[in-house]
């Protein structure tokens, strides 16, 4: 009997051991990333996530629009209309659940804060959700080279660092010569996306768009996308790090009392904090939220976006770094989408190259790696590349980076510790705002260029002072132009403005019936005191156009017609014209290029667009009855 009981007991135990096994870990829904799922594994754990929704609008028609305002309005309207459609049901359900969320309509995403495991599962099983990923917060100031002193409290420093002179970097980019022509950045708005700004600093207050000389308003001029953990967003500009105050100063700062620290003192600035606290903690959601603010500024609570108050230029001295655990940076799809939206809207994205040099292929972090960003390396007072300045090519695209270089060693600018404190910093972070200021000067000198991002980038590249090195990076020797150490060279505000003012101007009728001949006129004026030699004006002929005649007769090669002139004297104008027709309806863009001796590549002038109509426009006769 005992043996029988023992047998039964052993059999039961074996059966229990066989049947028992560790419970399988729950699998995430297919649309939820493994890292987001792991972040909520512990009971009660919560995480911030980015939810991507389906579809994205076509923004390319903005390129045919003539003005910056038209481009920006079109892009914002297209993005918001699509997001409202795609996000409507999810927004309503999030609100019904009492969840904290923020729409990133610029990328058709929604940031949802403090999401637990059940909520994450609910998000991942929705039919209107494409992907859910973790939004990790990390340090955006990667390998920052900042060194800070308080020069006002010490003995006067010698040139070029004396506060009674124009700062050496401002002089090196030839900004004062452009000021002397009457162009200081007036009418241009620079958005500084950084650690925030001390808005009432003596060198910045007068240039803040929210200050009218008597009172201040921060709505539409400041947004806090990176509040301190546990705190609400700051409704007034704040900078706990100092980095953002310094970079803003380099772009536009001047206290009117000798501290001429900024390249474009006539420009205005707005700001968005995308990195929090003394350490500069960023995240993909924070970076994108600030791009969105630059595209359509809001009140301080993030409401009522207004594209008519958009920035012209964004200065970006930060890096999205996967090595710090920052999610979405290894494959920076959302950042590519956001920066491309800004380009389509006519807003220039200027980014620091990074401080991971001197090795090759160290331009590894977005936004510096992106084709949509104009990437800036750093030079010293001898125009030599800084040892820390990241070298190209772009880790993401393999293309030459940086695009150009600017002063970035020992740069003196505003500091956030008081309203009259200044400090020295080194880094490509300091180089980028020099170029932001140069673009502001250029666009104030030639308002037709405002919003023409590709043309502006080409201008800056073609007029930069070529620099070479003994380094070979990405298979490109340092003796080549461009190269992966200096890009196209040191930015030159005076050269860019002079060439831009000489750029050809194209005029053409806005509407023409098909098959009716019309005339396109191209003119180029030399506003410089230098006689240009070897002058060539050229124009690309769209395949839909038929060339009837040209005056004077030009030389046609393929789809390009060109005219060559021996010289163009100061204040003189050259004018050529084309008579053309088209058999098909639709828009045709007319482009013209100017080249002369000493200019590395042709400069593209302001384009004009003619819309070919199926039939003649009939304007009704409007009779006014007499009183």
Q: Give, in order, the Cα–Cα distances in Å from 209 to each of 176, 225, 252.
A: 23, 19, 12
Same domain for 228 and 124? Answer: no
| pLDDT value of residue 551 | 96
Most confident range (mean pLDDT) of 148-157, 422-431, 504-513 is 422-431
Query: Would you state the pLDDT for residue 313?
Result: 98
Residue 141 domain flag: no
- Of the residues 449, 472, 500, the one at which a domain ends: 500
Q: What single DSSP character describes residue 260?
A: B
pTM above 0.95, yes or no: no
Tokens 């200081």: give the residue.
184
Residues 157 and 129 in one domain: no
Contact 577, 522 (CB under 8 A): yes
The catalytically annotated residue of 82, 243, 246, 590 is 243
Cβ-contact 582, 612 below 8 angstroms? yes
Catalytic residue among 194, 224, 239, 492: 194
pLDDT band at residue 73 under the 50/70/90 scheme: very high
CATH code at position 526? 2.60.40.10
Angle at 567 between CA 564 and CA 569, to 5 degrees: 140
Q: Which of 107, 135, 163 is the last residue before a domain boundary?
A: 135
Which residue, among 143, 162, 222, 196, has the nearest Cα to 429 in the 3D structure? 143
Has residue 18 got a pLDDT over 60?
A: no
- Do 380 and 409 lie in a common domain? yes
Confidence of residue 532 (pLDDT cuts 50, 70, 90): confident
Distances, alpha carbon 381 to alpha carbons 161, 168, 353, 411, 424, in Å: 11, 8, 18, 10, 14
Whether residues 248 and 376 share a domain: the answer is yes
- The reply to whether 608 and 574 lie within a common domain is yes
Evaluate if residue 549 carries a pLDDT over 80: yes
The domain in which residue 433 lies consists of 151-500
Q: What is the mean pLDDT of residues 519-538?
A: 89
- The one catalytic residue in 103, 283, 389, 429 is 429
Cβ neighbours around 627 below 10 Å, total: 3
The answer to whether 82 is a known catalytic residue is no
Q: What pLDDT, in 10s, does the model give residues 132-145?
A: 999 977 666 655 54
429 is catalytic: yes
Residues 546 and 484 sit within 8 Å (Cβ to Cβ): no
Flag whether pLDDT at 236 surpasses 70.
yes
Per-residue confidence (pLDDT) for residue 529, from 0 to 100 = 75
Domain count for the chain: 3
Report, as an integer, the average pLDDT of 151-159. Answer: 27
Identify which of 531, 472, 473 has the alpha carbon closest to the alpha carbon of residue 502: 531
CATH at 490: 3.40.50.200
Is residue 194 annotated as a catalytic residue, yes or no?
A: yes
Is 84 inside a domain boundary? yes
What pairing do the DSSP bridges indicate for beta strands 47-52 and 131-134?
antiparallel
Verify that 461 and 511 share a domain, yes or no: no
How confident is the model over 82-113, as pLDDT tens digits?
Answer: 999 999 999 999 999 999 999 999 999 999 99
237 domain residue, yes or no: yes
Same domain for 391 and 267? yes
| DSSP structure class, residue 307 | G
Integer Cα distance of 376 and 384 in angstroms: 14
Q: What 3-state DSSP class applies to 182?
A: coil
C-alpha 610/C-alpha 508 separation (Å) is 7
What 8-state DSSP symbol labels residue 545?
A: E
- Spell out the SS3 assignment of 502-524: CCCEEECCCEEECCCCEEEEEEE
Residues 250 and 257: their CA atoms lie apart, in Å, by 16
> Which residue in 308, 332, 307 sits closest to 319, CA to CA?
332
> How does strand 268-273 pair with strand 222-224?
parallel
- The percent of residues in the chain predicted with pLDDT above 90, rounded, is 75
pLDDT given for residue 517 in this prediction: 95
Phi, psi of 439 (to 5 degrees): -65, -40
d(CA 93, CA 114): 16
**Which is more confidently placed, 621 or 331?**
331
Contact 589, 604 (CB under 8 A): no
Domain end residue (candidates: 500, 535, 558): 500
442/538 same-domain check: no
Query: Any idea what DSSP says for residue 308?
Result: G
Does residue 541 sit within a domain? yes
Site of tokens 């828009």: 587
- 429 domain residue, yes or no: yes
């Amino acid at each position: 009997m005992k043996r029988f009981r023992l047998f039964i007991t052993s059999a039961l135990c074996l059966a229990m051991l066989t049947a028992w096994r560790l419970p399988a870990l729950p699998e995430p829904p297919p649309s939820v990333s493994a890292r987001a799922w792991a972040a909520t594994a512990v009971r009660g754990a919560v995480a911030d996530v980015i939810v991507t929704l389906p579809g994205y609008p076509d923004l390319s028609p903005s390129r045919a629009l003539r003005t910056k305002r038209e481009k920006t309005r079109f892009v914002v309207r297209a993005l918001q209309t699509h997001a409202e459609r795609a996000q409507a049901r999810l927004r309503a359900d999030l609100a019904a659940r009492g969840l904290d969320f923020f729409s990133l309509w610029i990328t058709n995403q929604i940031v949802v804060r403090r999401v637990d495991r059940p909520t994450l599962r609910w998000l991942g099983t929705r039919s209107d959700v494409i992907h859910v990923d973790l939004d990790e917060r990390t340090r955006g100031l990667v390998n920052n080279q900042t060194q800070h002193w308080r020069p006002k409290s010490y003995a006067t420093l010698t040139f070029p660092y004396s506060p009674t002179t124009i700062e050496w970097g401002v002089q090196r980019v030839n900004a004062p010569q452009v000021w002397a022509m009457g162009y200081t950045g007036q009418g241009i708005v620079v958005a500084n996306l950084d650690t925030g700004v001390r808005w009432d600093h003596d060198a910045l207050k007068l240039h803040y768009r929210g200050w009218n000389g008597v009172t201040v308003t921060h709505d539409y001029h400041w947004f806090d996308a990176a509040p301190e953990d546990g705190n609400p967003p700051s409704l007034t500009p704040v900078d706990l790090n100092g980095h953002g105050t310094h970079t803003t100063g380099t772009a536009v700062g001047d206290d009117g009392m000798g501290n001429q620290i900024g390249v474009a003192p006539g420009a205005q600035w707005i700001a968005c904090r995308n990195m929090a606290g003394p350490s500069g903690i960023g995240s993909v959601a924070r970076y994108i939220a600030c791009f969105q603010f630059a595209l359509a500024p809001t009140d301080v609570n993030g409401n009522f976006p207004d594209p008519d108050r958009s920035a012209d230029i964004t200065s970006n001295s930060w890096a999205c770094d996967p090595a710090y655990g920052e999610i979405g940076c290894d494959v920076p799809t959302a950042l590519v989408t956001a920066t491309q939206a800004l380009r389509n809207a006519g807003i220039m994205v200027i980014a620091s190259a990074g401080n991971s040099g001197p090795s090759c292929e160290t331009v590894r972090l977005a936004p510096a790696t992106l084709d949509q960003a104009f990437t800036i390396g750093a030079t010293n007072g001898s125009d030599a590349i800084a040892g820390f300045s990241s070298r190209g090519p772009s880790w993401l695209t393999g293309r030459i980076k940086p695009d150009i270089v600017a002063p970035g060693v020992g740069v003196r600018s505003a500091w956030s510790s008081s309203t009259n404190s200044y400090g020295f910093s080194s880094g490509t972070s300091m180089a980028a705002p020099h170029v932001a200021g140069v673009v502001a000067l250029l666009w104030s000198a030639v308002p037709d260029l405002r919003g023409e991002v590709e043309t502006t980038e080409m201008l800056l590249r073609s007029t930069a002072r070529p620099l070479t090195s003994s380094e070979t990076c990405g298979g490109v020797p340092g003796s080549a132009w461009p190269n992966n150490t200096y890009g196209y060279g040191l930015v030159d505000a005076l050269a860019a403005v002079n060439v831009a003012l000489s750029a050809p101007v194209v005029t053409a009728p806005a509407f023409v019936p098909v098959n009716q001949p019309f005339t396109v006129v191209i003119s180029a004026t030399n506003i410089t005191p230098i006689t240009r030699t070897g002058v060539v004006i050229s124009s690309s002929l769209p395949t839909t156009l038929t060339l009837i005649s040209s005056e004077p007769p030009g030389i046609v090669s393929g789809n390009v017609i060109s005219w060559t002139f021996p010289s163009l004297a100061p204040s003189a104008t050259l004018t050529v014209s084309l008579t053309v027709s088209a058999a098909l309806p639709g828009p045709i863009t007319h482009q013209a290029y100017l080249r002369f001796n000493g200019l590395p590549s042709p400069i593209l002038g302001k384009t004009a667009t003619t819309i070919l109509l199926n039939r003649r426009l009939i304007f009704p006769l409007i009779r006014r009855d007499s009183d």
